[in-house]
Amino acid sequence: MIQIGNVCIYGNVALSPMAGISDSPYRQITRKLGSAFSYSEFVSTEQIVQGNQRSIDMFRFKEMERPIFFQIFGSEADTVIEAAKIIETLQPDVIDLNMGCSVSKVAHHGSGAGLLKNLKVASHMIEGMRKSLSVPVTAKIRIGWDENNLNYKETVHVLQESGVQAISVHGRTKAMAYTGRANWDVIGEIKSLAKVPIFGNGDVSTYQEALSLQDRYKVDLVLIGRKAIGNPWVFHNFSKSNQDRREIFRTMKEHLESMLDFYRSEDEYALILFRKHFVKYLDSLSFPTDLKTKMLQMTSVNEFLENLYFGLLHPDERQGELKTESLSLNCESYV
């Protein structure tokens, strides 16, 4: 068990926060399949303070997702603190400051990994949130801006002195983005120096690999990001390759239905958003290429699900099942 303030986390592995991926529908799937807790997508504190409802709606969640970490980003300390107070009313378990996003439009404007170059501001943010909130405050960092500026020791020291209660570490620099290999030796060094729980992140492909890294580097928990897209089974001791195709279909169908519910009255939008998951679910699976291409253009949920079902089945299983299964998929709940 990991203790962060009054929040208890059970488990070894969790879904890393990812823009456009870790929305409530996918968090529900991954929690069900073993992710230890949930991170929201990161949300601009400026948009929160301005009352942008679409941004605030990104924090919607279901109780089964708890513990739920709301992740925010910003460059102005007062705005970050004010935004944190606003979203605390939505009852998250933890509020997390993103200090790791490497995207230029974020980092080069002083947010995300940009805070690694301005630790004084980051310190004010963490300290201000700790004083203003009743929920724990955490942060997600990278190991430095580039190879010539590996300031992870200073970063961790400043955040701890400011009152941070856990730190997630992506083992790359801002300059690396997602190239090269994550430096787990640095993550392990941070863990050996830290006084708060440390979550390690970077290049983790399987549950077994996560446990091995946890054992070797003694981190409190391992985060899995890109390798979890289309593979929610990665959070438990089994893999997608061992799943029955009907189970894969059921999981994909449940995921899409959850997206339809979350993005209510926007069925076509939900289906468009699901496409990035769809292509990843099909990784390593035999699936007709022409059918996949066709499905990426579909706007009818029923048509999409029907083609998905029969595309996943082996050819000799397709005959004789179309009529029965079509009837069960052709229902108004998707409309």
State how far the Cα of 245 lies from the Cα of 308, in Å rounded to an integer: 11
Q: Give the Å distances, CA to CA, from 50 to 54, 89, 98.
A: 11, 16, 19
- Burial class for 46, CB neighbours closer than 10 Å (0-12, 13-18, 19+): middle
Query: Is 71 assigned a ligand-binding role in the annotation?
Result: yes
Query: Is 18 assigned a ligand-binding role in the annotation?
Result: yes
Q: Which of 72, 71, 69 is nearest to 93 (CA)?
A: 69
Query: Is 19 assigned a ligand-binding role in the annotation?
Result: yes
Query: Is 170 assigned a ligand-binding role in the annotation?
Result: yes
Are the beta carbons of 70 and 44 closer than 8 angstroms? no
Q: In the numeric block, which tokens belong to residue 313?
A: 């089945």
Q: Give the Å distances, CA to CA, from 54 to 1, 44, 79, 209, 276.
A: 35, 11, 18, 37, 21
Query: Is 140 assigned a ligand-binding role in the annotation?
Result: yes
Length of the chain: 335
Q: Give the Å distances, CA to CA, from 73 to 89, 109, 113, 124.
A: 18, 11, 10, 14
Query: Is 99 assigned a ligand-binding role in the annotation?
Result: no
Query: Is 315 assigned a ligand-binding role in the annotation?
Result: no
Residue of 87, 95, 101, 156 marked active site = 101
User: What residue type is 199 in one-letter code?
Assistant: F
**Is 331 one of the annotated active-site residues of the chain?**
no
> 272: which residues sit within 8 A by CB, 6+ positions away?
none
Query: Is 295 assigned a ligand-binding role in the annotation?
Result: no
**Binding site, annotated residues:** 17-19, 71, 140, 170, 225-226
Question: Hey, which residues are catalytic here?
Answer: 101
**Binding site, annotated residues for FMN:** 17-19, 71, 140, 170, 225-226
